[in-house]
Amino acid sequence: MEEQMKEIFIPYTYTYDQFTILFYGDRIFVGEKDFPTGQCSVDMMNLSEDILNTIDDRVQDFLPAAQRLLTEKTDSAAASAQEKLNAVWDVVFTLPVYRDLKLDEVCSYHALEHLLTDEDKWTQIQTPGTEGYAMYQEFLKGLSHLTDGIRMFQNQIATMTEHYFEPLKRRNSAAYAQAYSQFYGQMVSIAAHYFHENFEQSTPVEVSFVPMMHPTQKGGIFVAEKTTFQSLLDFLQVEFYRGLAVGNAPRRCHNCGKYFLLTAGYNTCYCNNIAPGETERTCRKVGAHRKEAQSKANRTPAQQEYDRTYNRLKQRKNRKKISVDEWNTAVARAQELLDQSGRGQLTDEELRRKLWDL
């Protein structure tokens, strides 16, 4: 069976502006790796502005050389443009998604040099109205707007995460759907009122279904959805919303500020990465301790007095000086006295004396 399955597949050829991703359940397969759906979007949310600025600088250095090549059409012009394009690829191919795909680097890093040897393609690229000319100009346009799309994606997801998802008490697909419906409704209203246009969340893709060997279950086979994208932004949009549909969503860590993926039904405000300034402890561990310490530091004198009484009674119970029933009665009385203090019926000193008598 495995031999038959291997015969079904042919190697995919991935390029900057066309690549294939496999979806199955709540997982995605990028090249030879698989991730929970939504992880690539999280990785993109954590992409630094410095990297995007570097791409911008290198693209702006490349574009004039790319246009100049159309008029000069010399080996030196092609080599110069290719060198500047390769500087762009050196950064772009390290981005999330691209770094895990088996990109056709031979094609990407020598594309302009190879074009120079194909007279028919060069004629088309230089002739407005031809398919080759349109493809070349579209390629340059897409490259020049690559970081704009990434920034737009980051801003939209940051807004959705902070203002619509963060207040949620539950973290599952139903809760995310309710929050997204509020976001969607407001965006439709804003688009119509201010821009006189529709707010659409549609993405053009090519979809087919293929059998695939299960990565962990020996001999297991499943039907995967093979989706071909024409841009990185198209993929990110699809992956993010597929994540929401299965209950996965980005959340910003309350300790380090980076985004992490909350999978279906799980709710925590701290990521599991090593915390800033730590060598072993994660944000999840550090954040919990800090939250507890902050909670204790912010407790009122009455609450602190209650804490001392609670600990004293607990020690007496553990030493079997009072029974469990006596412990429960005393703690209930202590809570009642604390409530009276909170309503202003007891002063701090009166509360302290009454608690001490328990």
- State the average pLDDT over residues 110-130: 86
124: three-class secondary structure by DSSP? helix
Picking from 336, 29, 224, the residue whose alpha carbon sits closest to that of residue 328 is 336
Cβ neighbours for 144, distance < 8 A, ≥ 6 positions apart: 59, 63
Select the more confidently predicted residue: 55 or 103. Answer: 55
Higher pLDDT, 35 or 190: 35
What is the DSSP track for 257-288? --EEEEPTT---SS-SSBPTT-SS-BHHHHHH
- pLDDT (tens digit per residue) in 199-215: 777 888 899 998 887 76
Instruction: Give the model's pLDDT for residue 65.
Output: 94
**pTM for this entry:** 0.76
| Buried-exposed string 4-25: b where 16+ CB fall within 10 A, e elsewhere | eeeeeeeeeebebeebbbbbbe
State what percent of residues in the chain have pLDDT above 70: 91
- pLDDT, tens digit (0-9, with 9 covering 90-100), for 3-42: 544 444 444 568 888 999 999 989 999 988 899 999 999 9
Q: How confident is the model at residue 97 (pLDDT cuts 50, 70, 90)?
A: very high
User: Phi, psi (5° rounding) for residue 29?
Assistant: -120, 115
Given this model, what pLDDT does residue 296 score? Answer: 58
CA-CA distance, 101 to 64, in Å (whole number)?
29
The residue ranges of every structural domain in the chain are: 8-250, 299-356
What is the total residue count of the chain? 358
Strand partners, 24: 27
Q: What is the tens place of the pLDDT at every residue in 263-311?
A: 977 788 889 898 888 888 888 887 765 655 555 556 778 878 878 888 8
pLDDT of residue 5: 44
In whole angstroms, what is the distance from residue 149 CA to residue 130 CA? Answer: 27
